[in-house]
Amino acid sequence: MSKPDISTSAGSLQLSNPFLLASGILDENGYTMRRILDEGAAAVVTKSIGMEERSGYKPPIVSVDDPIVINAVGLPNPGILNVGNEIKIAKKSGKPVVGSIFGKDVNEFVHLAGKMEEYGTDAIELNLSCPHVKGFGSEIGGDSSLVKEIVENVKGSVKIPVWSKLSPNVTSLIDIARAASDSDAIVLINTVRGMKIDIHSGRPVLTNRLGGLSGPSIKPVGIRCVYEVKSSIDIPVIGVGGIESAADAIEYIMAGASAVQIGTALWKHGRGIFSKVSNELEEFMAAEGYTKIEDFRGLALT
């Protein structure tokens, strides 16, 4: 009996399996991205890149109390002029590289997207949803008219696919998703706004006080968001949030996701997680009699 086919697509982007590296984890250095691709990821999403270099916040920027992970790193990145060679190195893997970008207005997003296309990325991911950087993200990601304007202008300026990464920290996710519906795919979700306090000092643990909750704690939120968007809008969705096993990914796929991204789990399981979850997915599909991912994608929607 032949092995199940675990290939899929995110919009027009073809993927050897449904598992991508999420933005923000081991994705600033070209050699690290290439190694993750060589070790089983179907694609990588770069660290979110802005117009200029940012050093981010001073430590502590991460609090880990398994399964609770909260971070506020402040979008540190080398700036758009310094990532071209890293993308070139990662591209030598032969697998897709997606360029994540953030900006404060439409013009910045358009400029950044153009540079990413020039560097050879296979798609653009618009980070419209970082919840803890003043002047970025939450203000943009919660404004449906601005989201629509950014997506339309970026789509009109590049030839490669454009994905929009949305925040759960909004009044109406469906309204924002509709505003971003010109995208080739929607990525759900970014981190959930959270906070942790040291009970001995009475002070917030993170330098920025507020941070983004990630990891297993947000998986039910992510699955709910994918389900709600797919129930309302006919657009490819990429699921993110708390995926540590094939079973986690299968929940997202049954909610309608075409692919998923893995981030926080690398801290616990290392780079080998991509081959691990691919093997688990094949075993699940063989046991259940599925020959391809489309056999069960969106099953919960029916």
Q: Known catalytic residues? A: 130
For the chain, the C-alpha Rg in angstroms (whole number) is 18
CA distance 13 to 20: 12
Distance of alpha carbon 163 from alpha carbon 125, whole angstroms: 5
CB 192, CB 213: distance < 8 Å: yes
For 107-127, letters b (16+ CB in 10 Å) and e give ebbbbbbebbbebebbbbbbb
For residue 21, what are the contacts with CB-CB under 8 A and spacing of at least 6?
27, 33, 36, 37, 41, 43, 44, 45, 261, 262, 263, 266, 274
262 within 8 A of 14, measured Cβ to Cβ: no
